[in-house]
Copies of this chain bind each other. A is one copy, B any other.
């Protein structure tokens, strides 16, 4: 009887492992009881009992007269569990969730956006008041498939000012910058393709690319842009289809692509037939514009992405894609299929905010405040032995190295207990080689409590690491 129990367990465990490895897919019919008994060299009654128990567990379903089937779906796409197991504190989705979920009392030096009070609130209020008097179509109707014509015209002019020649027909509006990149990935990638990213890069690129079931290869980032030798080697070894980067103000480092690297990078991309997605959402933070890959390339193999979530408001979602006309056409079909019509209202508010006379002044003031906050953060962090990789010319990010032997994930966990959300380095690093880095958002790092909490966490983490050695 004991041996019979063991045999049933063995059959159940065999079937369970086929299901978890997806050798047997949800909905698939299992071998008949007789065939299974033969294959596993057990009795028919053992298989019947094993099948019945798996039905009771919900793993199989029985269809009278037809047989046993794998219950479905058992394996929905679980982003948090895909790929190698990582410390939940450096899981990119953990960082996003902590930043998005926390209430106003939580301090968020690790988040990727400005405090709400730094955004263009006055412009948004004016836009809403004027929209409340707008005509019915603006208030009630879907946008055209490519999105608000006036905003696309404005964006084409802004692209021209940045040296990128694009007609309004080459601009597609989306619901957000992230959705824009997601559409491009759906358009150009197939599961199993390879994509290059910077190491470190914006952590949500990792989560997004997981959702596309592609292979991600990181290229080390230098203060002038990606390491070109490593980039060239990655092209030869992996034949990637896409490279996703920020040229302007690189996330998380705040670095700026040099013209020399930009030029060589595009030559390599040309030879390899590589498409480049240039995520340019920090453009308006630059005092003096850095070179853009899209300007060098003329939107031939570069696709540029933008959004207004970082400067106007994150509460209205509005992003855009600039690309060559034939790609915009296919992307528009894909946008209709997966999101149907876009909204008019968000685009209308954005257009009226950025074209009102106050926006330029607002951004000048933001740049001044950011520069001051940057100085203060560098000075304050230095007292804790935390040193910037570079001091960026613009933007909100400061990529910093912790004192020797201190683990950023441990510090992040400790600080979270005290209501401070940090962004640990390995969330940004495909090779997990940034375990002693943190990304600070200087605009969100003005409260002195952050540094008190950080100091305590550092001393504990430092002791912990010394105790271990």
- Residues of A at the B interface (CB closer than 8 Å) are 26-29, 61-63, 66, 69-73, 76-80, 93, 96-97, 100-101, 104, 113, 116-117, 119-121, 124-125, 128-129, 131-133, 136-145, 175-179, 182, 186-188, 191, 194, 204, 207-208, 210-211, 236, 239-241, 270-275, 309, 313-317, 327, 330, 333-334, 336-346, 349
Contact = CB atoms under 8 A, between A and B. Distances in A.
Contacts of A341: 100, 309, 314
A112 to B, nearest CB: 9
Given A76-B327, A140-B314, A142-B113, A63 B342 contact: no
B207 A275 contact: no
A100 B142 contact: yes
Contact of A273 (B70, B141, B345): B70
Contacts of A96: 145, 336, 340
Contacts of A73: 188, 241, 273, 275
Contact of A344 (B128, B182, B315): B315
B144 A63 contact: no
A340 B204 contact: yes
A77 B191 CA distance: 12
Given A313-B139, A340-B96, A63 B116 contact: no
Q: Taking each of A80, A117, A141, A338, which has the highest tally of chain B beta carbons within 10 Å of its own beta carbon?
A: A338
A143 B315 contact: yes
A211 B61 CA distance: 30
A298 B168 CA distance: 48
Given A175-B339, A207-B337, A210-B337, A145 B76 contact: no
Contacts of A27: 194, 239-241, 272-274
26 contacts: A27-B239, A27-B241, A27-B272, A27-B274, A69-B272, A73-B188, A77-B330, A97-B145, A100-B336, A100-B341, A101-B145, A116-B141, A119-B136, A121-B140, A129-B132, A139-B315, A141-B314, A142-B315, A143-B315, A175-B317, A176-B339, A204-B337, A207-B333, A315-B343, A316-B345, A346-B346
A316 B348 CA distance: 11
A117 B136 CA distance: 7
B211 A186 contact: yes
Nearest to A177: B340
B334 A79 contact: yes
A333 B343 CA distance: 24
Given A116-B136, A128-B128, 8 more contacts: A80-B330, A124-B140, A129-B132, A176-B340, A204-B337, A211-B334, A211-B338, A313-B345
Contacts of A69: 239, 272-273
A28 B136 CA distance: 53
A116 B97 contact: no
A179 B338 contact: yes
A349 B80 CA distance: 32
